[in-house]
Amino acid sequence: MEPLDYLHDGDTVSSWLLTTDHKRIGLLYLFSITFFFFIGGFAALLMRLELLTPAGHLVQAETYNKLFTMHGVTMVFFFLIPSIPSVLGNFILPLMIGADDMAFPRMNLLSWYLFMAGGFFALSAMILGGVDTGWTFYAPYSSVYSNTRVITMAVGIIIAGFSSIFTGLNFIATIHRLRAPGLTWSRLPLFVWSLYATSLIFVLGTPVLTMSLVLIALERLFGIGVFNPALGGDPLLFQHLFWFYSHPAVYIMILPSMGVVSEIIPCFARKRIFGYGFIAGSSLAIALLGFLVWGHHMFVSGQSLYAGLVFSLFSFLVAIPSGVKVFNWIATLHKGRIYLRTPMIYALGFIGLFTIGGLTGLMLAALGLDAHVHDTYFIIAHFHYIMVGGAVMGYLGGIHFWWPKITGRLYSDFWGRVSAVVVFIGFNLTFFPQFLLGYLGMPRRFYHYPPEFQVLNVLSTAGASILGVGYLIPLVYLAWSLKYGRKAGPNPWKATGLEWTTASPPPKENFTQIPLVDSGPYRYEGEEVAFD
């Protein structure tokens, strides 16, 4: 008798809301973060509509400030940071290492509830009038002068931070101690390496953000001048504390995506990954170096020139391991047998867009250039190329790669490729004009702008509409596949990796027998293959 799969093993509400099964928890996160994605996307829609015309017509300035704050907070803390780790990481990691679950399953469930509690406070802050400080909460505006729901929002982010911390803790313990027999560190799939590096950042960085927001809240409540210059405090102290986490946070957002790309490319090029050790090592290097560069957000803030030089140097250095990855992926593709299925389209798009985003990051690492484009749309374009062109594309690629495993169904690859292309086109149309706008001097976080910038803004808004459509299409065909899609076998992509050796969807305890590993990952032979 085949065991029930995890989706059907228990169908009461409490069997879902009280589950400790990492697979179900991954799905709970999937629903939550998708919800927040559309909230953040809605804010972006309103912003782009406002920016269709030079003068402010759609919303007032104060409302616009609340919109970009809502967009930033939701997208960063409630979508991007948890996206791959909490959805795909939770689901796939134990399967990938041959374990039955995470090291601490109940802590995993607690993480989800903390995320939801944090989200509740953040939503409350928005509903009760919003916050206008920007997702960066700079003091003393956030700690003294803003008349918006700063503390409520801060509480939400603080609570969600604990969700991250416990997730990272769980991943580290799981990877250290729950690998299947024979699965040595040097045989681990690169997705696991990327999750490990990400988890290091979770545990080492998030607590500092937590404390920085606690201090903002205390300053608002008690009026002691830690950050308030009028009382002898220093606004730069807040920025150091904030960016110490928030810069490595961007590596939390990109490293798992890179891990996904490292899984997709060998499978759809039917070739071993080139430079496994270098890619694994580069994940760790990015996690380390990523903590040494935070001052590059503060070049024009009043930070000392000497500190600026040091942070600039390290910002150049941190590009190196990323470059190593890009070259290794390209070398893997070289002379591979390429299959352009949906996950591969996303992975290839990732490589191109991440490279552009990364190169513009190098430009920004240079003190002189950054002084010119700081607080302009150049910065916005830069980080959206990485966060959206990179991280989100990787996330969508991962969703499409592991969808058959998660749901036991195959989606329409035609529609998958269509929406991947629509996303790619819409994305570039949205954000490339913003590089030009920023370089020409259009500042960010303004609800109006000089008329000469209108054409580029209109192009950007047009692109955003297309991008939005590209994100909506998958909702349709993925949902459709749940009922009408062909059933998937255990390994529709003929991929290597332990997760593909068990049923789709897997049974609750993952494996009917403990897997034994006797060789390294990505044992692809370049053969012609028929996918399911």
Contact residues toward other proteins (CB under 8 A) are 94, 99-105, 165, 168-170, 172-174, 176-178, 200, 203-208, 210-212, 215, 218, 222-226, 231-234, 236-237, 240-241, 244, 291-292, 294-295, 298, 302-307, 310-311, 509, 514
Residue type, 186: S
What is the nearest approach in angstroms of other proteins to the Cβ of residue 515? 12
Q: What letters, b where the CB count within 10 A reaches 16 and e where it falls short, cover 150-166? A: bbbbbbbbbbbbbbbbb
Residue (17 or 309) nearer to other proteins, CB? 309
Nearer to other proteins, 172 or 338 (CB): 172
Choice between 126 and 365, CB closer to other proteins? 365
Nearer to other proteins, 37 or 227 (CB): 227
Q: Which amino acid, residue 404? A: P
The least distance separating other proteins from the CB of residue 408, rounded to whole angstroms, comes to 22
Supply the minimum distance, in Å, between the C-beta of residue 360 and other proteins.
24
Nearer to other proteins, 128 or 309 (CB): 309
Which is closer to other proteins, CB of 52 or CB of 218? 218
> DSSP alpha helices (H): ranges in 441-518?
454-484
User: Are 57 and 456 in contact, with CB atoms under 8 Å apart?
Assistant: no
Phi, psi of 376 (to 5 degrees): -115, 180
Provide the minimum distance between the beta carbon of 108 and other proteins in the complex, in angstroms, as a whole number.
Answer: 11
Task: Provide CB contacts within 8 A for 133, sequence distance 6+.
Answer: 65, 69, 141, 142, 146, 148, 150
Tell me how far apart the alpha carbons of residues 166 and 259 are, in angstroms, rounded to a whole number.
Answer: 21
Distances (CA, A) of 223 to 97, 217, 226, 228, 378: 51, 10, 9, 9, 36
Nearer CB in complex with other proteins: 51/96: 96
Nearest approach, Cβ of 102 to other proteins (angstroms)?
Answer: 7
Query: Please, which residue, 34 or 303, has the CB nearer to other proteins?
Result: 303
Please list, in sequence order, all residues whose beta carbon lies within 8 angstroms of the beta carbon of residue 381, skipping any fewer than 6 positions away.
360, 431, 432, 434, 435, 437, 438
Least distance CB 40 / other proteins (angstroms): 27
* CB 419 within 8 Å of CB 474: yes
User: In the complex with other proteins, which residue's Cβ is closer, 91 or 354?
Assistant: 91
For residues 39 and 104, the answer to whether their CB atoms sit within 8 Å is no
Which residue, 238 or 435, is less far from other proteins as judged by CB? 238
In the bound complex, what is the minimum distance in angstroms from residue 159's beta carbon to other proteins? 14
Nearer to other proteins, 163 or 461 (CB): 163
Task: Answer whether 463's CB lies under 8 Å from 430's CB.
Answer: yes
Question: What CA–CA distance (Å, rounded) separates 170 from 392?
Answer: 24
CA dist 57 to 48, 54, 181, 452, 522, Å? 12, 9, 64, 17, 55
Give dist(CA 255, CA 3) in Å, integer: 35
**Cα–chain center distance at 141:** 28
Distance CA 411, CA 19 (A): 27
Buried b (16+ CB within 10 A) or exposed e, 311-330: bbebbeebbebbebbbebbe
Task: Output the smallest distance, CB 211 to other proteins, in A.
Answer: 4
Q: Smaller CB distance to other proteins: residue 226 or 380? A: 226
Shortest Cβ distance from residue 174 to other proteins (Å)? Answer: 8
CA–CA gap between residue 171 and residue 169 (Å, rounded)? 6
Q: How far is the CB of 165 from other proteins (least distance, A)?
A: 5
Q: How far is the CB of 261 from other proteins (least distance, A)?
A: 27
Q: CB nearer to other proteins: give 307 or 479.
A: 307
**Shortest gap between Cβ of 319 and other proteins (angstroms)?**
19
Distance in angstroms (rounded) separating the CA atoms of residues 35 and 422: 21
Q: CA geometry: angle at 273 spanning 271 and 274, to 5°?
A: 110
Residue 173 CB, shortest distance to other proteins, in Å, is 5
d(CA 89, CA 167): 10
CA distance 78 to 96: 25
Residue 487, phi then psi, degrees to nearest 5: -75, 140
